[in-house]
Amino acid sequence: MFRYIVVAPPGVGLVTPVEEIARVAGAATGLVAGLVHTPARGSDPYLDDGAPPPVALALDFPSIEALEAAVAPAGTLRGLAAMLPAGTTQQAMVARRFPVPDARGPAACTYLVTYEGRAEDEQAWLEYYLAHHPPIMARFPGVRAIEICTRVDWMGGLDLKRARALQRNKVVFDDAQALTAALNSPVRHEMRADFHRFPPYAGPVTHFPMATRRLRA
């Protein structure tokens, strides 16, 4: 699945209501599924990355061609950029889903993680991460979904800043309480220990708990 990700800058207010942003995003031609994320509360024993983005969108398309058509200068998402504050970023990525023991829903709280920096050897870094980290994530109590996105080259015409994140992750739970319980479970300590075994990487990593709702089934 090809995912178009839009993230407003953390700590910045919105002029356009989230409902209107979601309406335009959900009307994209070719959209298979979409999510809108807004800030939620959660507690991680290792991290506090401050103010979250006021809104983030994750829009799924069946092909890179369908994604590029939606974000072309005359595409159905052409009005989206004008609704979002300066500094909002966009990125197209490939989304990979990983199995969890109990994927029942509806799940409404997502821990969004972004690796914004660079790996010394990207191939080695991704191979290690994809092989080792998702099986640990799958042991979180109450986890409903795990997805990991990696970047692709793409074309688009929206007037938004292009991000070049190495990777974006999401771990999904029923609500903010379930997310906090998982982050304070022994599995979180396993995750942190594995983090220190990653191949060399330099740059920021952000973690934000976000309330999540579906744009289209």
**What is the Cα 177 distance to its own chain's centre?**
20
**Total of domains in the chain:** 1
Strands 118-119 and 161-162 come out as unpaired
Domain containing residue 24: CATH number: 3.30.70.100
Which amino acid would we find at residue 87? G
Instruction: Write out the residue range of the structural domain in which residue 81 sits.
Output: 2-216
DSSP 52: P
CA dist., res. 178 & res. 167, Å (int): 24
Say whether 114 sits in a helix, a strand or coil.
strand
Predicted pLDDT at 217: 46
The series of mean pLDDT values per 10 residues for the chain, 217 residues long, is 97 94 96 96 86 96 97 96 96 97 85 96 95 96 96 95 97 95 95 93 95 83
Output the pTM of the full model: 0.95
Residue 37: predicted pLDDT: 97
In 10 A of CB 63, how many CB atoms? 12
DSSP 184: T
